[in-house]
Amino acid sequence: MEAQYELLDSGGGRKLERFGKVVLSRPCSQAVWRPQLPSSVWHQADATFDREDGNRWHNRSALPAQWMIDVDGIIFQLSGTDFGHLGIFPEQRAQWRWIRSICASSKTPPRVLNLFAYSGGSTLAAALGGAEVCHLDASRGMVQWARENAARNGLAEHPIRWIVDDAHKFLCREERRGRRYDAIILDPPTFGRGQNNEMYKIEKDLPETLRLCRNLLSEHPLFVLLSAHTPGYTPIVLQHVLGQSVEGLGGELESGEMLLTGAPSVLPVPSGVYARIRFGKC
């Protein structure tokens, strides 16, 4: 079956991607190399997005109001937002596969916490692997989007708690309530706002986020997966900060770049980094 997401090309500060039948050209600052495809192919994109004069779509009317794609067995509802996002970060694909396979191999349904959870890719991967999930995002609209994605994946009745809250406030409350999780996934923004406008800055807040997460890990945890899209945050940066936060728990720590990919001849585009630790099996 033809892949429903693929990177078609990149270069000249842009990326050309196909989401189902829709081809989009969007900014990509790291693509400092030359495009491989001729400009005639790039000009056939259904719509383009630019940040030159503020955020702007060109030919947005060519985009369906909503459409769906299946990425590795997870169905996503997409829509062109004012910020150029579509409701999916396909560079997380390899993480979603990892999450799903670990959850599926657990003897009992693991309890998974997904923070800064956006449209729910990681939540869906964990739930499809059989986990009970707590999904948290400060944006009510994003939580609603994720719920709709869950329904599209036949998970409307699955045990998923949907929380609209500030991440730190919620983590402190969960600790007081004595709730514990077997796995924690977090993709903190460079800069974000909590539900009541609390400011989140990764450079200041990440160690505290991880300290709070550490306090919520169950006695025999499965994993912690941290990812970020912050300039200057390399895999080793994330590996160090994650490693320090779970010191003394053992486990296998690894890190790497997240990539947008297409056919083998297409240059992969680095889009963020991850570090993850896999503890003993439960």
Ligand X SMILES: C[S@@+](CC[C@H](N)C(=O)[O-])C[C@H]1O[C@@H](n2cnc3c(N)ncnc32)[C@H](O)[C@@H]1O
| Cβ distance to ligand X smaller for residue 36 or 190 | 190
Task: Please state the closest distance from residue 78 (CB atom) to ligand X, in A.
Answer: 12
Residue 119's CB is within 10 A of a number of other CB atoms, namely 26
> For tokens 């977090």, what's the residue?
186
Quote the CA–CA distance of 142 and 122 in Å, as a whole number. 14
Q: Is residue 27 classed as helix, strand or coil in its secondary structure? A: strand
Of 31 and 206, the one with the shorter C-beta distance to ligand X is 206
Cβ distance to ligand X smaller for residue 90 or 110: 90
- Please say which residue, 92 or 239, places its beta carbon nearer to ligand X: 92
Residue 205 Rama label (left phi>0; alpha psi -120 to 50; beta) = alpha
Helical axes 202-215 vs 167-177, angle rounded to 10°: 20
CA atoms within 13 A on the CB side of 178: 0
Among all residues, whose Cβ is closest to ligand X?
A: 192
Q: How far is the CB of 77 from ligand X (least distance, A)?
A: 13
Q: Which is nearer to ligand X, 99 or 217 (CB)?
A: 99
The least distance separating ligand X from the CB of residue 185, rounded to whole angstroms, comes to 8
Q: Extract the tokens encoding 280.
A: 């003993």
Which residues sit at the interface with ligand X, rule CB under 6 A?
Answer: 89, 92, 116-119, 121, 137-139, 142, 166-167, 187, 189, 192-194, 198, 200, 229
Cβ–Cβ < 8 Å for 28, 13 = yes
| Residue 187 beta carbon to ligand X: minimum distance, rounded to whole angstroms | 3
CB of 275 to ligand X, least distance (A): 15
